[in-house]
Chains A and B, each alone.
Chain A
């Protein structure tokens, strides 16, 4: 009896079930492997003898791919491969932290507004409307102006900056600024889902069993919305990376000589007729990452729905 109980206990988490189902989805697993490979390449690759991403080689400007510059060099002779790898660190971190911030705020905010309903909901959603109406750039500029000095004084951030080649305290602002804007749509999506769900009988049943409201929201309702949350999250990651590129272009994000995928693509696009490799390789990394995340997201959505299981 005890062994069966252990068995049931182990197998009863949604996460574990989802993983078992995800393993059967070939496309999702291939995507996961590709994604992990790219991430490892970006974070560990630089330790294995790649050139410095910021050193200029004025004797080797705008080289097409060759044995010194595997993916070519740009107009100041900086190595594209190492710029892509270091830039990937920034893009991936921005993509994930900002998405995570937007996910946590958006899901909780939307779920609470939808569940409580009435006046609370009205007030909470009007706040969202107001934030939506504010120009995004303005928020970021205000945030940067307000906090960048104080951030520069934080010791941990300073030591991080010294250790890593790409990290700057300002980047942290970027993560939060982007997350701060992206959560609005998530909150709306989750709220509308919760409103439909809370009228279902199983919620009434949960109340009649004496469960507390937070428990009902976080254990019963949010798992039911995971499908849409995940699909929207996989759309958020590329959107965030794109925003980062826009901000970097305006000098609010990653500052030259540092790079990110977004800024590399932007630079490459300017020279796509003379030096196409400047555009092709960063774009390739970017698209492969986004593709794998999308397939992975699709796979996760199916895996998290118990009804797709055949075991």
Chain B
């Protein structure tokens, strides 16, 4: 349904060209949930923003690639074409529900906007649908709550409203950009369950951007691990957790506090992510990798299948079978 090939998004800043997304490819099937995991600055959000044309240009620029959504290449689509895709066929929910609703407009006004713009419903019909959609995301007493302003809702409730708003037009793809990061731990699970539940009843595909591996294991069918603007590993979720095929994924797993022994210092990955303004000849994870050799610093790795056909890794040494990674 969505086919992204070799997407490159660069930012032309005063300090040089930041290669935020550098050759990312993936595909998304109908109804599938795909996770994109990575640390801050790995390019996971930029990847998705590029698809919807939400990258500020300048300084951002899409340097290459294709993103076929049906017949339409999202990267080459006009602003007008994109506007018909945004909010209608591909919707998005954002990280911080406290700031992603307009504080000056009632929930009702904001909820009916996509319906009035995309489906040309009149106000009355749109309000009917809006109340229904609020009920569907579990907001009690929806027909009176819809008159509230955003500040009258709690964070979790606002995120529910955001989900209702994103799904009100029954989009084919929902992009969730760290939808639970800004929420209370107790509310996080509720919101995740809600997204899963709504997705199942609407048949929407979901791209889940997160840095939380626990979230991934909960909701995603398939996971792409991103590092320094590239996908370094891609696999079905269970497979990835059982047999990580990239040292970075393994290191990430080892950093989950719940998986570590009590009383011992937490495991952290040494060093910092590379400076994206300076292109590296070899593997971008090599400077922090426990397994790196001279060759890793100089030859650039390629994402390739492993013994498992759906499992791709960009670790050259693993591809050659030189190292074993146990989770």
Contact = CB atoms under 8 A, between A and B. Distances in A.
Contacts of A307: 103, 149, 151
Interface in B108-144: 108-109, 113-114, 117-118, 123-124, 127-128, 131, 143-144
Interface centre among A9, A207, A210, A306 (most CB of B within 10 A): A210
B54 A209 contact: no
Given A8-B108, A201-B100, A306-B149, A208 B87 contact: yes
Contacts of B101: 202, 205
Interface string B31-74: 00000000000000000000010100010000000000000000
B128 A224 contact: no
Interface stretch (B89-97, B212-220, B290-298, B312-320): B89-97
Nearest to A208: B92
A223 B104 contact: yes
A206 B110 CA distance: 9
Contact of A306 (B94, B103, B131): B103
B254 to A, nearest CB: 33
Contacts of B304: none
A202 B114 contact: no
A30 interface: no
Contacts of A205: 92, 94, 100-101, 162
A211 interface: yes
Interface in A216-271: 219-220, 223-224, 226
A45 interface: no
A210 B102 contact: no
B30 interface: no
Contacts of B151: 306-307
Contacts of A5: 124, 127-128, 131
B164 interface: no
Contacts of B117: 209-212, 215
Interface centre among A202, A224, A305 (most CB of B within 10 A): A202
A8 B103 CA distance: 18
B96 A118 contact: no
Given A12-B108, A220-B105, A209 B87 contact: yes
A11 B123 CA distance: 13
A9 B86 contact: no
A9 B52 contact: no
A204 interface: yes
A219 B165 CA distance: 17
A116 interface: no
B189 interface: no
A164 interface: no
Nearest to A226: B104
A120 B256 CA distance: 48
A28 B316 CA distance: 73
Nearest to B165: A209
Contacts of B96: 201
A200 interface: yes
A216 B102 CA distance: 11
A210 B100 contact: no
Contacts of A305: 104
A11 B147 contact: yes
B87 A201 contact: no
Contacts of B149: 306-307, 309
A9 B102 contact: no
B55 to A, nearest CB: 11
B8 interface: no
Contacts of B92: 205, 208
B99 interface: yes
Interface string A258-294: 0000000000000000000000000000000000000
Contact of B114 (A8, A12, A210, A224): A210
16 contacts: A5-B124, A5-B131, A9-B123, A9-B124, A201-B95, A201-B96, A204-B100, A208-B52, A208-B94, A209-B91, A210-B86, A210-B114, A211-B83, A212-B83, A219-B105, A220-B104
Given A8-B147, A205-B100, 7 more contacts: A5-B127, A12-B147, A202-B101, A204-B94, A210-B114, A212-B117, A306-B151
Q: Which 4 A-B pairs have the closest CB atoms?
A: A210-B87, A209-B87, A210-B86, A208-B92
Interface of B: 52, 54, 58, 82-88, 91-92, 94-96, 99-106, 108-109, 113-114, 117-118, 123-124, 127-128, 131, 143-144, 146-147, 149, 151, 162, 165-166
